């Protein structure tokens, strides 16, 4: 699974971190989402949920 974050579109809501805390975090200064690691197989569902719940639809997955 490839994860791309549109950091310019990100609104720093943190929904991705709430959904998949092992895959996403937020930058300290502005809260913009960052990828901690490419999701391992056991994080696929959580990562899909994060992409689904993002209010800016800024997370793009290719599987």
Q: Cα–Cα distances in Å, from 9 out to 2, 25, 43, 45, 46?
A: 18, 16, 23, 23, 21
**Strand, coil or helix: what is 17?**
helix
Instruction: Name the minimum Å distance from CB 53 to another protein.
Output: 6
Measured from the CB of residue 24, what is the shortest distance to another protein in angstroms? 11
The structure tokens listed for 26 are 């937020």
Q: Is 28 in the site for another protein (CB under 8 A)?
A: yes
Closer CB to another protein, 42 or 55, in the complex: 55
Nearer to another protein, 1 or 56 (CB): 56
Residues that bind another protein (CB under 8 A): 11-15, 17-18, 25-28, 30-31, 52-57
């Amino acid at each position: 699974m490839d994860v791309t974050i549109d950091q310019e579109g990100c609104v720093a809501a943190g929904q991705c971190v709430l959904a998949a805390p092992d895959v996403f975090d937020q930058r300290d200064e502005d809260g913009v989402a960052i990828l901690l690691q490419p999701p391992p197989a056991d994080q696929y569902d959580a990562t899909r949920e994060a992409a689904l719940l993002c209010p800016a639809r800024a997370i793009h997955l290719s599987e």
